[in-house]
């Protein structure tokens, strides 16, 4: 029983780390996409 607990703790933490990292990449990509869009819009307005 204790073994199962350790096993699921290891799997749970591993997947949590991977999901947090994927979420962080996706959030950073969206922020940059918004910035690029904003800059393009500003440049479009000025030209």
**Rounded Cα gap, residues 39 and 22, in angstroms:** 26
By CB under 8 A, residue 37 contacts another protein: no
We find the least distance from the C-beta atom of residue 6 to another protein, in angstroms, to be: 5
C-alpha distance from residue 35 to each of 7, 25, 39, 46 (Å): 42, 15, 6, 17
By CB under 8 A, residue 23 contacts another protein: no
Q: What are the residues binding another protein (CB under 8 A)?
A: 2-4, 6-7, 9-11, 13-14, 17-18, 21-22, 25, 28-29, 32-33, 35-36, 39, 43
């Amino acid at each position: 029983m204790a073994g199962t607990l350790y096993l699921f703790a290891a799997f749970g933490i591993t997947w949590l780390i991977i999901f947090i990292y994927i979420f962080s990449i996706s959030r950073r990509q969206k922020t940059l996409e918004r910035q690029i869009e904003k800059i393009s819009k500003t440049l479009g307005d000025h030209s």
